[in-house]
Chain A
Amino acid sequence: MKENKDTEILNLLKINIEVGFKELVNIYKKDVYRHIRRMVIDHDDADDLTQETFIKVWLNINKFKGESKLYTWIYQIATNETLNFLKKKKKFSFFSVNNEELDLLNKLHAPENFRGDFIEKKLNEAIIKLPDKQRLVFNMKYFEDFSYEQMSKILNTSEGALKASYHHAVKKIEKYVSDN
């Protein structure tokens, strides 16, 4: 994790906010992008949301009091931007409840988007079929190696609920991959 870099960035921000912010972007850009891309699948959507995230970080950097870790705060913004984006997309899917899911699956199957092997594609298909928040929990635990304690602070959910959510996600994924 980037915890050890946070102190360095916070010190830089105090000395020169622009230099500090540039360093913040440099350190977190890949992780934030990957975090968002795993949820929205499409590169252009992930690009927009990543930029939005860092712009919001910039707009609120003076308000950051250091009560939470810097990475927790950045991931909170990125997560909220992503979930709001997915929620807005769902609202425009008037014709079918599964429109958003179908859209994500189509993007996953587009050759320019995904380069994993067959089993990895099946795994990602199964993940797309999960509800948004459960998918988020799974991605953060499985791909990004967050602890339940860290996830609890980012998602503002109890560790118990997160453990249960991850457990259910794993069961659903196993079933989907076995059946398909």
Chain B
Amino acid sequence: MKENTSKILENNKKGEENFHFHIPDNYFDQLELNIISSTNNIDISKKENINKSYYSIILEYIFLNKRAILYSLPIILGFILLTNLLLYNNKYNVNNDIKIENYLLTESYNDINDDFYYDIVESYSVNKPLKNDKQIEIDNYLLENDYMDESYY
């Protein structure tokens, strides 16, 4: 086998004689027709046909360059994380505001003096944790039964 290999490597034919891949009949005629018809549709006098769009150039560059992908990935992930955090924080604050309003609306505070009202609003401010349902229930009971006096605070 080694002798055969050496023989082939030394005495090879060139070009077409040493091309052993099968080619369909009349392929090269068809190839030429396909190329000419494709290029006929491209007007090389127009600049926009020649220049790729910037986006395709950037995408091709990133796609063909592993390093670009590796370096840009932390930045992209960091951006996604930051966006989610901001949205979550905003959602948390909105929920707090809604809960305060709902809580106040469900109870009849029309006859409560202003000091009392502001005290309750302060206790449910966004920087403090919300009361759980049980605590709210207790507060309601106390309110209904007039047990909310200054000493409670």
Chain A residues packing against B (C-beta within 8 Å): 17, 21-22, 25-26, 29-31, 33-34, 37-38, 41, 43, 47, 50-51, 54-55, 58-62, 84, 87-88, 91, 112-116, 119-120, 122-124, 142-145, 170, 173-174, 177-178, 180
Q: A21-B39, A25-B32, A55-B38 are known contacts. Are A115 and B20 too (CB-CB below 8 A)?
A: yes
- Cβ–Cβ < 8 Å partners of B42 in chain A: 55, 58-59
Q: A60-B50, A112-B22 are known contacts. Are A55 and B35 too (CB-CB below 8 A)?
A: yes
B63 to chain A, nearest CB (A): 8
Indicate which residue in B4, B6, B14, B64 contacts A144 across the interface (CB closer than 8 Å). Answer: B14
Indicate which residue in A30, A31, A41, A180 contacts B21 across the interface (CB closer than 8 Å). Answer: A41
Query: How many residues from B make CB contacts under 8 Å with A?
Result: 33
Chain B CB within 10 A, most for which of A30, A113, A122: A30
Q: Does the CB pair B21–A43 fall under 8 Å?
A: yes
A171 to chain B, nearest CB (A): 11
Q: A43-B22, A51-B38, A178-B2 are known contacts. Are A26 and B9 too (CB-CB below 8 A)?
A: no
- Cβ–Cβ < 8 Å partners of A122 in chain B: 1
Q: Does the CB pair B64–A87 fall under 8 Å?
A: yes
B106 to chain A, nearest CB (A): 56
Interface 9-residue window, one of B23-31, B88-96, B112-120, B124-132: B23-31
Q: Does the CB pair B14–A143 fall under 8 Å?
A: yes
Q: Does the CB pair B28–A34 fall under 8 Å?
A: no
Chain B residues packing against A (C-beta within 8 Å): 1-2, 4-6, 8-9, 12, 14-16, 18-24, 27-28, 31-32, 34-36, 38-39, 42, 44, 49-50, 63-64
- Cβ–Cβ < 8 Å partners of A58 in chain B: 39, 42, 44
User: Could you list 21 A-B pairs, sorted by A, with CB under 8 Å?
Assistant: A29-B32, A43-B22, A47-B27, A51-B31, A55-B42, A58-B42, A59-B44, A59-B49, A60-B50, A87-B64, A88-B63, A115-B21, A120-B20, A123-B5, A123-B8, A124-B20, A143-B18, A145-B15, A178-B1, A178-B5, A180-B1
Q: Kindly state the separation between the CA atoms of A120 and B5 in the bound complex, as whole angstroms.
A: 9
- Cβ–Cβ < 8 Å partners of A174 in chain B: 2, 5-6, 9
Q: Does the CB pair B20–A114 fall under 8 Å?
A: yes
A122 to chain B, nearest CB (A): 8
Q: Does the CB pair A144–B15 fall under 8 Å?
A: yes
B57 to chain A, nearest CB (A): 14
Q: Does the CB pair B14–A145 fall under 8 Å?
A: yes
Q: Does the CB pair A51–B34 fall under 8 Å?
A: yes
A53 to chain B, nearest CB (A): 9
Q: Does the CB pair B2–A59 fall under 8 Å?
A: no
Q: Kindly state the separation between the CA atoms of A86 and B133 in the bound complex, as whole angstroms.
A: 64
Q: Which residue of A lies closest to B38 (CB)?
A: A55
The 8 A-B residue pairs with the shortest CB-CB distance, nearest first, are A116-B20, A58-B39, A177-B5, A145-B14, A54-B35, A178-B2, A119-B4, A115-B22
